[in-house]
Structure 1
C-alpha cells in the first residue's frame, strides 16, 4: 500500500494581518498551518485601518469580504484640505466609484475587527492552528525548525516571518541593524461619535496638510467611531521608548502640535478618550527576503510609513502571492519546488513594495510643505489637477488600487 501523501506544512510567526492572511491563504490551498503569536490574547489595540480596493480583492478571494463590509465603513470620498483654513484642495469620490473603477470597495475598519475576522476564518478552516502566548526565540532555516520560549520545538516545510516591524526572525536571519528614526511622531485616537455630537466630521477620508505636519480623519466603523491620526515632524528624547501604539501622550501636547488648525481636527483631539503617541521609524527596502525555507512577509519585509495607507494592504498582497508561488510544493518531493516558489515570490513582490515604500515617504514630504512659494506651487498643482483633470487624479491611484494580486500572482510549476 502507498502511504498517504502528507500535506505541506507552514509555521507562521506573528498573528497580525499578514500572518493570519498568509495562514488562511495557505490553508485554502491544502497546507497544514500553525500560527505562533507571542501575546496571550488579541486586544483592541491600534485604531483604524484603510482597506483600499487592492487589499479588499485579497479579502474577497479569502472569503471574508462580506464580514468586513458588515463591520466596516465605506467613505464617500478621499480628500485633501489645508489644516489651518479647511480649504479643500481636492476630493475624489470612492464610495460609488471604487467598485467600478477599481473592482472592489474602499473600506475603513478597526484593526481589531479585521484581525478578528481573519482569525475566525482561519480557525473555521483549520481548528487549532492558532497558538497565542507562544513566543518564537530562534529559527533554523535549514531544517524548518522553530524553538519557542518554553523550550519546545516545531518543525515545518516553510517558516513565514510575519512578526512585524521589529521582526525577531528578520534580525536573526537577515538584518539586525536598527531602524531609522524618521524625525516624525504620530498621534492616534479613536473617538466615539456620541462624544462629538453635531461636530462629527463628514463621511470622507480626509488628509489635512500643513507645514511640518498633517492629520488624517475618517469614520472607521458602522458602530460610530471616528479615527484621528496626526503626523508631526519633531524628535522625541529616547525615541525607541515610543515605538508602541499604546504609549499615552497628553492632550495638551497634541493640541499644541495642531494649534490654530481647523476645528474639525482640534475637536477630535479635545474629545478623544485617550491619545497614543509613538515615533515613526522606517527601513530601506530589504534586498533579501528568503533564507533557506524561511521567508519574510508584511512589515517584517517592507515596513512603510502610514502616509499612503498601504501597509496592511501590502501585507495582504504578500499573503496571497506567497501562497500562490509555493502552491506547487506538495510536501513529498525535495525542496527544489519550495525554493523556486520562495524566490519567485520575492522577485515578484519586491519591486512593487519598494515603490510603495518610496511613495509613502514622498507623500510625507508633500503633505508637509512649508509656507510660501513651495507650498503654493505644490497645493495649487494638486488643486488644478483635481479640478481640471479629475480623471488624471484618479489615474494616479489606479496603479495601486486597481491592482489585483489574485489575478497577477505567478503560480510556479512543479519541478
Structure 2
C-alpha cells in the first residue's frame, strides 16, 4: 500500500514537495486555504539549483517557456554608474519567470502524478503524529504531514519548532508593467539591473518578451512605500527609469521581509519546508529555489531510508544533509541587505570590493551553484 502524505500550502514549495513525493509512489493530498491555487506576487528569479529541480519534476519546459534568460547581473549607484556587472556563466543559469507560470507548471506536474488538491481548507495547527488540524474542525491524518504554509506557519508554531520570526526593516513594492520597444538601451539589453539610491532600490527585470518585473525596495518607515504610489518620489531617485516608473499601475503589493529560524525542521512524522522553516530576505533570489530544492530532497531522503516505516529518522537525516546550505544562503542573504543603510559612496565601494573577491562571490552564489539532491530525470 502506498504511503500517504498531506501538505498544508499549495504554493510553489508545497506543489514541488507534493509532486516529488507523488512521483515516488506516495498518495498525496494538498490542503490550500484559498479558493484556488494561485500565485501571489509578480516575477521570480530561478537560479541553476531551482532549474534543476524543475527538470527533475518534469516541470521545466512549461515553467520557463518564453522566460528571460539574462547574461549579466548589474548594480548601479545613485549616479547611474555601474558598481559591478557580473556575467552569468552559461552553466550557472538564471531565469526570471512569472510566478503564475511557475505555479501552473508545478500544478501540471502534480496532476500528472495524481496529487489531490483540496481548496478552502485552512490549516490552524498540526501534531507530531502526522495530523493537520483544519479551521473547519476536521483533523486529517497521514503517514507524513508537511507544513509549507509560509512565514506565519501555523504548523511550525503548533509543533513548537519556532526559534525566531522577525521582520526586517526593509520591504518591497512589486509590480509588473508592459514592456515597449526602446525600454532598454543597447548596453542594457540582457541584464538584470539593481539600482541604488540612499536606502531605496529599484530592481528592473524583464520576465518575457512583453513584461517587465519591477521591485521598489525601501525601509518600512519610508514615505515612498505608501499607497497610492507617489511615482515622482521614485522618479526623482531613479530618473534613468522614469519611463518605466510612470507606467506603474495601481496593482502593487507591499511586503516586508521576514526571517524565520526553527530549532528543527520536523517533529515526529510532521515536517516544515520553505519559508515555514527558513524564510530569508529575497536579496539572493533563493526563497523559491530553496523551498523547491528541500521539498525534492525530503522526498528522496524518505525514498532512500533504510526503514521506510521510520519516517521521523528519515526526516532528521534530510535536515542534517540540507540545513547547512540553507543556513549559509540565509546568512548571506541577510548580510547582503546590511549595505542598504551605508552612504552611497561607501556602499558602492563595499559591493565592488566584495564581489570582486572570488571567495566572497563563491559564498554569495554557493546555493545557486549547488547540485540539488535527486535532480535526475522525472520519475514519471
Answer whether contact 2:192 2:206 (CA < 8 A) is retained. yes
Residue matched to 1:120: 108
The question of 1:259 aligning with 2:232 is answered: no
Residue matched to 1:3: none
Q: 1:139 aligns with which of 109, 116, 126?
A: 126
Q: 5+ residue gaps in structure 2? A: none
The question of 1:89 aligning with 2:83 is answered: yes
* Aligned mates of 2:122, 2:236 — CA distance in 1: 43
| Secondary structure in 1 matching 2:245 | helix
The question of 1:199 aligning with 2:183 is answered: yes
1:235-250 correspondence runs (5 A): 235=221, 249-250=227-228
Answer whether contact 1:71 1:113 (CA < 8 A) is retained. no
* Aligned mates of 1:325, 1:177 — CA distance in 2: 24
| Secondary structure in 2 matching 1:151 | coil
Answer whether contact 1:179 1:281 (CA < 8 A) is retained. no
Q: 1:307 aligns with which of 283, 297, 309?
A: 283
Residue matched to 1:150: 136
**For 1:163-221, what per-residue CA distance to the aligned partner results, in whole angstroms no more than 9, with x for missing partners?**
11111111211256883231223111100114xx4234633111112322222111112
| Secondary structure in 1 matching 2:132 | strand
| Alpha-carbon shift at residue 226 of structure 1 (Å) | 0.2
1:203-282 correspondence runs (5 A): 203-222=190-209, 224-235=210-221, 249-252=227-230, 255-257=232-234, 259-264=236-241, 266-282=242-258
Residue matched to 1:356: 329
| Alpha-carbon shift at residue 408 of structure 1 (Å) | 8.9
Residue matched to 1:322: 298
Alpha-carbon RMSD: 2.7
| Alpha-carbon shift at residue 148 of structure 1 (Å) | 2.5
Rg (Cα) greater in structure:
1
Alignment length, in residue pairs? 372
CA pair 43-343 structure 1, distance change in 2 beyond 3 A: closer
CA pair 32-316 structure 1, distance change in 2 beyond 3 A: same
CA pair 407-225 structure 1, distance change in 2 beyond 3 A: same
Residue matched to 2:33: 38
* Aligned mates of 2:359, 2:264 — CA distance in 1: 35
CA pair 258-299 structure 1, distance change in 2 beyond 3 A: farther
Residue matched to 1:342: 315
Q: 1:399 aligns with which of 338, 348, 366?
A: 366
Residue matched to 1:288: 264
**For 1:259-297, what per-residue CA distance to the aligned partner results, in whole angstroms no more than 9, with x for missing partners?**
332422x33222112252424242353222111111110
TM-score calculated relative to the size of structure 2: 0.89
Q: 1:65 aligns with which of 56, 60, 73?
A: 60
CA pair 47-326 structure 1, distance change in 2 beyond 3 A: same
CA pair 203-38 structure 1, distance change in 2 beyond 3 A: same
TM-score calculated relative to the size of structure 1: 0.82
| Alpha-carbon shift at residue 42 of structure 1 (Å) | 2.9
Answer whether contact 2:4 2:28 (CA < 8 A) is retained. yes
**Higher strand proportion:** 2
CA pair 262-216 structure 1, distance change in 2 beyond 3 A: same
Moved more, 276-285 or 350-359: 276-285
The question of 1:179 aligning with 2:145 is answered: no
CA pair 56-269 structure 1, distance change in 2 beyond 3 A: same
